[in-house]
Amino acid sequence: MLLLYSVLGLAFGSFLNVLIDRLPRDQSIAYPASHCPSCKTPLAVFDLVPVLSYLLLRGRCRYCRVSIPLRILLVELSTGVLFGSLWWFLGPGTKLILSSAYFSILLVITVIDLEHRRILNKIIYPAILVSPFAAIVYGASAKDIFLGGLIGFLLMLLPYILSGVGLGAGDVKLAAFIGIFSGYPAILVAMFGAAVFGGVAAGFLLLTHLRGRKDPVPYAPFLALGGVVALIWSEQLISWYLGFY
């Protein structure tokens, strides 16, 4: 069953690719049907099999041979791995469905931020609106949800105001969204994790001269990563931390 749910994740990843392609360009996600962005040939069913199509075609369009971005494959694989891990950690049930949707939103936001340096309001606002209800069904108390959202918002607002470059208002909204869904105290794990991941990545990019000191680094991927860690391991991490005292 874990395998079946992972395969479902691969297929869902194809749909996430459509969202990632079309939402930033203000295109409809339903129409037209999937087609090659270069030669416009509509894709047949056998071009749309997740992962396999990409590998069999060696990352090229069957009709015009233009290369298909590696991201298509990576998003499909990531969604499969995320869905599989969630089944592993949570087992079947409501929590599985909710957290799969949550991770999917985080993945879409991450990839769009990497490609366009934007966090789209048409994704983050509906996400923030729905997340309190999702968190209640997930089992959090109203107080923890409110506190989580507030702490995420404030912890990101300060660096946003202080930092001239790099962070955007979208990062603040994203932190609030992650805070609402993970709740308090898990949001602390998420924000701390994001800062650590972001710091390590920034240090690596500076040391290897891949990025200069002034180049903005998208922060959404690190927030999302912190959110993933917090959802799965926050209880263990917090009790481990409190064990020191």
| Burial degree of 208 (CB within 10 A; 0-12, 13-18, 19+) | exposed
Applying CB under 5 A, the span of 38-46, 96-104, 157-165, 236-244 interacting with Zn ion comes to 38-46
Rounded to whole angstroms, how far apart are CA atoms 80 and 16? 12
38 lies in the binding site for Zn ion (CB under 5 A):
yes
Q: Is 168 helix (H, G, I), strand (E, B) or coil?
A: coil
Angle (CA) 218-21-100 rounded to 5° is 75
Rounded to whole angstroms, how far apart are CA atoms 168 and 54? 34
Sequence-distant (6+) residues with CB within 8 A of 154 are: none
63 lies in the binding site for Zn ion (CB under 5 A):
yes
Q: Which amino acid, one-letter code, is at 222?
A: F
- Can you read off the two tokens belonging to residue 28? 């409809």
Residue number with CB closer to Zn ion (40 or 143): 40
Give the N- to C-terminal CA distance of the chain in Å, as an integer: 41
Residue of 56, 64, 136, 200 that binds Zn ion (CB under 5 A): 64
Residue number with CB closer to Zn ion (61 or 151): 61
Beta strand extents in 66-164 (DSSP E only): none
Residue of 19, 61, 111, 156 that binds Zn ion (CB under 5 A): 61
Residue number with CB closer to Zn ion (63 or 160): 63
- Residue 14: CB minimum distance to Zn ion, A: 17
Residue number with CB closer to Zn ion (41 or 121): 41
Residue number with CB closer to Zn ion (38 or 141): 38
161 lies in the binding site for Zn ion (CB under 5 A):
no
- Residue 138: CB minimum distance to Zn ion, A: 42
39 lies in the binding site for Zn ion (CB under 5 A):
yes
**Chain residues that interact with Zn ion, rule: CB under 5 A:** 36, 38-39, 61, 63-64
